[in-house]
Amino acid sequence: MGFTLFGAKGCGSMAVEALLSVLNLDYELIEHSPFEEGQLEQLLHINPVGQVPALVLPDGQVMCESAAILMYLAERYGADAGWMPAITARERPVLMRWMVFLAANIYSTYVLSDKPSRFHPDPDQHGVMKDLATERRKSLWLIMEQAFKAHESPYLLGDRPTILDLYTAMISLWTPSRVWFDDHCPRLARAAHLLETDLRIREIWMRHEAPI
């Protein structure tokens, strides 16, 4: 019995799919877009928040929250290959800090811009809300870029890719845009592009029509 991943095109399930693939784990992908009425209904049975990704583990437990899923899978199945630094490694707290930073600060802003009516009833205000969310994302990416600027390693945390490279690469595909990211966050972008030379990841990104 393998994993079942509930995901949608271009969504946060991409990174989970990529990690399941590079770790050679058996999984079935079920597409349930949270943006399609009928599919959302079904998704709510799996994740009461109505979001993807949601991952059903081989023992039947449901796991949600992209950063938590990536950390779990990488620790459990990808530690030897370096996808998650060892608990005693210097890189471990760095990875945990920035995984949560990406989830809590950057990814969370899409909750506003994807469905702004949740935060303001007046549609005339939605444009400005989305613009402000984009500006907020930009400033957060610049903070992360600053923190990694002096790291000279090929990937963000060393010579091998970790889930931090994967999560960074995925979220940087979204608004403002990979073009903005490449121009303004060259250190982070270098790691993302290097990760995307892995054909298994590239194939998944292409299937999601990622702008790489």
Ligand X SMILES: N[C@@H](CCC(=O)N[C@@H](CS)C(=O)NCC(=O)O)C(=O)O
Binding ligand X (rule: CB under 6 A), the pick from 114, 145, 182, 198 is: 114
Q: Report d(CA 60, CA 167) in Å as an integer.
A: 25
**Does 169 sit near ligand X (CB under 6 A)?**
no
Q: How is the beta sheet containing 3-7 ordered, strand by strand?
A: 27-31, 3-7, 54-56, 62-64
* The binder of ligand X chosen from 110, 158, 178, 187 (CB under 6 A): 110
Torsions phi, psi of 192, nearest 5?
-65, -45
Q: Smallest gap, in angstroms, from Cβ of residue 45 to ligand X?
A: 14
Residue among 23, 96, 111, 140 that touches ligand X (CB under 6 A): 111
158: left (phi over 0), alpha (psi -120 to 50) or beta: left
31 is a site residue for ligand X (CB under 6 A): no
For 55, 100, 132, 200, the CA distances from 197, given in Å and listed in that order, are 26, 25, 33, 9
Query: For residue 175, how many other CB atoms are within 10 A of its CB?
Result: 13
Tell me the closest approach of the beta carbon of residue 159 to ligand X, in angstroms. Answer: 28
Q: Which of 3, 22, 32, 53 binds ligand X (CB under 6 A)?
A: 53
Q: ∠ CA 32-53-81 to the nearest 5 degrees?
A: 135
Of the candidates 3, 5, 12, 191, which one interacts with ligand X according to CB under 6 A? 12
Q: Minimum distance between the CB of residue 103 and ligand X, rounded to whole angstroms?
A: 5
Which stretch in 76-84, 86-94, 102-110, 124-132 sits in contact with ligand X by CB under 6 A?
102-110
Tell me which residues touch ligand X (CB under 6 A): 11-12, 34, 50-53, 65-67, 103, 107, 110-111, 114-115
